[in-house]
């Protein structure tokens, strides 16, 4: 009689699972790499320009929607995107709960970190500069922008950049690339957040073989950052 795995064993299996890489033709791999390089340059430049706007400036909204279009368009142009799955109770399932719970955990950790960071004036100042875009602008529109860009970033960085790297340490390299592109705005706190979030999402990409879990994690994390973090800094 086969013993049914415990919930604890199932969770460990999900966390430690490494999805089998999908083999792509040389033509697809080459196209991914060309598209990835071009889109990163354009996206980083557009991100830097959008964050140079003053909080509340209407152009910020259009620029960030344009940035989302660049990331998503680059992802679709690079090649096939996959949702991914996780093993659970003997079946392959979409990682909806996985991505959501990890997003809550990462978002909660950032809020706790914010409580500490607000006691360090230089760090608090960098964080406040980013949060002012949510505080001084239209909150509903900022929420939409956060969600749209979260999906687009994961489509590109975990859906296009990650597989374009092949066997060249995709978890580490895709995270570094994401952090560098995000740091183009000139705020070191964005780069720091990108390392943490990007690393978690890259590990999810490795575990599930697709972008669904990273997308959900990014969406939940983004909502927490927009709605819960500003009050921590008195905004």
Asked, for residue 219, whether it belongs to a domain, the answer is yes
User: Tens digits of per-residue pLDDT, 69-122?
Assistant: 999 999 999 989 999 998 877 788 899 999 999 999 999 999 999 888 888 888
Number of separate domains in the chain = 1
Average pLDDT over residues 168-189: 88
Least confident of 55-64, 145-154, 156-165: 55-64
Q: Which residue has the tokens 């720091």?
A: 192
Q: What is the pTM of this model?
A: 0.89
Is residue 67 a part of any domain in this protein? yes
Two tokens, residue 176: 């570094």
**Considering only CA atoms, which of 64, 204, 203 is closest in space to residue 130?**
64
Is the residue at 141 inside a domain?
yes
- Please report whether residue 12 resides in a domain: no
pLDDT at residue 126, as a whole number: 81
Give per-residue pLDDT as tens, 191-211: 899 999 999 999 999 999 999
Residue 174 lies in a domain: yes
Residue 60 resides in a domain? yes
Range of the domain at 119: 22-84+94-232
Phi, psi of 72 (to 5 degrees): -65, -45
Tell me phi and psi for residue 92, to 5 degrees: -90, 125
pLDDT at 58: 80
* pLDDT band, very low/low/confident/very high, at 4 (cuts 50, 70, 90): low
Structural domain includes residue 124: yes
**Would you place residue 216 in the very low, low, confident or very high pLDDT band (cuts 50, 70, 90)?**
very high
Q: Is residue 207 part of a domain?
A: yes
Find the mean pLDDT for residues 51-62: 78
Exposure class string for 102-112: b at 16+ Cβ within 10 A, else e: bbeebbeebee
Local confidence band at 1 (pLDDT 50, 70, 90 cut-offs): very low
């Amino acid at each position: 009689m086969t013993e049914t795995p415990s919930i604890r064993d199932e969770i460990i299996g999900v966390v430690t699972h490494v999805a089998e890489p999908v083999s792509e033709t040389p033509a697809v791999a080459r196209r991914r790499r060309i598209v990835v390089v071009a889109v990163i340059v354009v996206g980083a430049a557009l991100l830097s320009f959008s964050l140079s706007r003053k909080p509340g400036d209407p152009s910020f909204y259009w620029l960030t929607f344009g940035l989302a279009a660049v990331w998503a368009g680059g992802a679709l142009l690079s090649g096939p995107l996959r949702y991914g799955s996780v093993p659970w109770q003997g079946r392959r399932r979409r990682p909806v709960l996985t991505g959501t719970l990890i997003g809550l955990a990462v978002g909660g950790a950032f809020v706790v970190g914010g409580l500490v960071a607000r006691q360090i004036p230089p760090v608090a100042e960098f964080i406040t500069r980013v949060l002012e875009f949510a505080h001084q602008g239209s909150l509903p529109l900022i929420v939409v922008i956060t969600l749209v860009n979260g999906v687009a970033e994961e489509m590109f960085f975990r859906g296009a950049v990650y597989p374009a790297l092949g066997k060249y340490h995709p978890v580490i390299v895709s995270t570094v690339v994401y952090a560098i592109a995000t740091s183009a705005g000139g705020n070191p706190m964005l780069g720091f957040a990108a390392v943490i979030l990007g690393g978690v999402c890259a590990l999810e990409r490795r575990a599930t073989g697709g972008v669904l879990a990273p997308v959900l994690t990014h969406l939940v994390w983004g909502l927490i950052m927009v709605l819960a973090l500003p009050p921590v800094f008195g905004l």
